[in-house]
Amino acid sequence: MIGWLDCSAGISGDMLLGALVDVGVPLEVLQAAVDRVGVEPVRLSRSTVSRGGLGATKVDVHVDEHPRTRTWADVRALVEGADLLPAVAVTALDVFGRLAAAEAAVHRTSPDDVHFHEVGALDAVADVVGGAAGLHALGLTRLTASPVVLGSGTTRGAHGPLPVPPPAVLALLAGVPVLAGPVAREMTTPTGAALLAATVAAYGPLPPMVLRRTGTGAGGRDPDEVANVLRLVVGDAASGGPSTEDAVVLEANVDDLDPRLWPGVLQQLLDVGAGDAWLAPILMKKGRPAHTLHVLCPPDRVAAVHDVVFRSTTTLGVRSVGVAKHALARTQRTVEVDGRPVRVKLGLLGEEVVNAVPEWDDVAAAAAALGRPAKLVLGEAAARAAELVTAPVRRPPPAP
């Protein structure tokens, strides 16, 4: 089963809780997960409200009026010590870890020194842990989302007024398609952005599916410009085979570029929307060693790729050829190595997971944090990733 989030009115933690309950996750599942964290009393309640004429479920988080401020180290200890399902704990730690990193970047400090204030308050603990538990209860193999509306104007945080989108939201959603939207208010909160960053595999329109259920979660405000709801659409993938889409391969032979510049060029190409970029060593006329630059990109990114290639390399020309790209559906899960989260890319053939590959950046970060060789951390992450593969082994028939 797959899911799609309609973020045309943004996202917050309580909106996600409302959408999960509305789509069929019992409120008791969320409450039980929050209770296991063992913080001050937190109670969830549900109600039916109207937003822009649409009926929606609103989940409210009831906490003490003066919850204590917690650091990332405090929150991490709470979640790690809670009797949560391992997958729920790993997702919650991933969400809070991203929040800590984003807030640390904004305030120019280290993640462990971040005081979360509203992010680390009890309502955010409920949003993150409850959201992780609800998504796990749905059993989705893939979660995607629309481009995310962030809002505009200003808002007020613990340290004073902030521009909208808040800096932490922008840091959390780097690489994600976003827009301001029609409402001059904060539409996506840092907690909502971190939940998206930790759980969503791709962004775009509603994917092909056999529709099963739709959940609608309400935000706290009811603006005139837009129905302030988050919709969660759940169904079965419509096609069992790989998707096919048009793509373009661009190539250029370059024999006079300082090789130290190539890593930056490749990164620039990925930043402007190329699906892949790589070099192949060649031998040109007169025996000169050189490289062929290859770039795979969607047709609508060709102009941007041309701009990078001509500005950042010494080539005078680029050739291109149209190709068909066949790709497995993809999703993402998180495994744990000695308490450190490592994301795993999953390749889906229909409902079967046929490939599971740990993200190298997460492996390297975990190895550095644990003080262990990266090859050993990679081996453990790969072993846990292999447990996610569901495709049966295809063995040849016995010889007659």
Q: Is the peptide bond before 165 cis (omega within 30 degrees of 0)?
A: yes
pLDDT in tens, 83-118: 999 889 999 999 998 988 888 887 677 666 666 554
> How far is residue 86 CA from its own chain's centroid?
19
The pLDDT of residue 352: 85
pLDDT at residue 394, as a whole number: 54
CB 3 within 8 A of CB 228: no
- Looking at residue 323, its pLDDT comes to 86
Closest C-alpha to 337, from 297, 310, 369 = 369
pLDDT band at 120 (very low <50, low <70, confident <90, very high): very low
207 pLDDT higher than 60: yes
pLDDT of residue 112: 65
How far apart are alpha carbons 234 and 22 in whole angstroms? 12
- What is the Cα–Cα distance from 57 to 217, expressed in whole angstroms? 5
Q: Which percentage of the chain shows pLDDT scores above 70?
A: 90
Task: Indicate whether 231 pLDDT > 90.
Answer: yes
How far apart are the C-alpha atoms of 116 and 301, rounded to whole Å? 39
Sign of CA dihedral 327, 234, 205, 308: negative
* Helix (H) or strand (E) run with residue 363 in it: helix 360-370
Question: For 86, what's the count of Cα atoms within 13 Å in the CB-facing half-sphere?
Answer: 10
Closest by alpha carbon to 128, among 55, 75, 77, 57?
A: 75
Give SS3 for 153.
strand
| Residues contacting 166, CB < 8 A, separation 6+ | 155, 157, 186, 190
**Segment 159-178, tens digit of pLDDT:** 567 788 989 999 999 889 99
Provide the whole-model pTM: 0.63
Can you give the pLDDT at residue 118?
A: 46
Model pLDDT for residues 355-373, shown as the tens digit of each residue: 999 999 999 999 999 999 9
Does pLDDT of 250 surpass 60? yes
- pLDDT at position 312 is 96
pLDDT tens sequence across 69-82: 778 888 888 899 99
Stretch 165-194: mean pLDDT, rounded?
92
Which burial class, exposed, middle or buried, applies to 133 when counting CB atoms under 10 A from its CB (0-12, 13-18, 19+)?
buried
Mean pLDDT (whole number) for 36-40:
85
Q: pLDDT value at position 383?
A: 95
CA torsion sign, 193 to 188 to 135 to 37?
A: positive
Element of type H or E holding 254: strand 243-254
CA distance 354 to 392: 9
pLDDT score at 178: 93
Mean pLDDT, rounded, of the chain: 89
Which domains can be identified in the chain, with CATH numbers?
A: 2-237 (no CATH), 243-325 (3.30.70.1380), 329-386 (no CATH)
Tokens of 139: 């059993």
pLDDT digits (tens, 9 = 90+) for 296-336: 998 888 999 999 999 999 999 999 998 888 888 888 899 99
Query: What is the sign of the dihedral through the CA atoms of 62, 63, 65 and 69?
Result: negative
